Amino acid sequence: MAIDEALFKAVSAGTSLPTLRFYTWEPPAVSVGYFQNSLREVDLSVCREMGIDVVRRLTGGRAVLHDRELTYSIISPDNSFNFPDNILGTYKIISSCLVSGLNSIGLNALLTPSVRKAGRDSPSACFTSPSHYEITIDGKKLVGSAQRRGEGAFLQHGSILMEFNREKLEKVLHKTGGIDSVTSTSEHSKIDIATLTTSLVKGFERGLGVSFSEGGLTDEEVALSQQCRNKRYSRPEWNFRRPSDTN
């Protein structure tokens, strides 16, 4: 999460290029949305017993269990690649790129607009809550994403489930209604992370009309990510208390 924020800051400042990033989590972790109450949504004692970390994201949305999945993030100026200056329009373009990549390896993924709204008592989990421009297979949600905008740029990241352990999710999160509406790539095809990543990169290249060059973090990005980690993501007051909470 610190790296994603560092890239967001650097792209916003014009010191880094637009970036498409893919990563996994070790150990597994629950990321909670920026506005969520970690203590209310996540069973922290179960997470400790199972060796699962808990971290708050910079983005909104609901909790995600990052385990046996691939996370993507894309960070870009608002005015690049014909991205519109609004959340829903950007979601649609990014989701279309993801669908293109998934389709290219035989997954019958669809972009499904949603008009439902999640209320206060909705499930804690991102994958069991409705959102706009969901990516589904056979009517079940495969990808959960969240976005942050500001300073002329945006960060969107999301989880693509490769396997889905329903029992683990029910233990970790307090509210998991709608769990039967979730799917994973393993339920439809045997695909490894390398193949999935390559196909998604090509999907973004086709959808955005660009070519990506593989690379690592710059020295500036590494230093900035360490600052973000020290300031936020390694601190209990960030991870376990909502920014708006005062009690």
Domain ranges of the chain: 2-190+200-237
Whether 47 is catalytic: no
Token pair recorded at residue 87: 């959340």
Cα gap 204→210, rounded to integer Å:
8
Taking the CA atoms of 186, 189, 195 and 199 in sequence, report the sign of the dihedral they define.
Answer: negative
| Residue found by looking up tokens 């960060």 in the block | 155
Mean pLDDT to the nearest integer, 23-46: 94
How much is the pLDDT for 242? 66
Strand partners for 77: 153
Strand partners for 20: 74
The CATH number that domain 2-190+200-237 falls under is 3.30.930.10
Comparing 19 with 133, the larger pLDDT belongs to 19
Lowest mean pLDDT among 50-64, 122-136, 211-225: 122-136
pTM: 0.90
Token pair recorded at residue 214: 């593989």
Q: Which of 47, 97, 126, 228 is catalytic?
A: 126
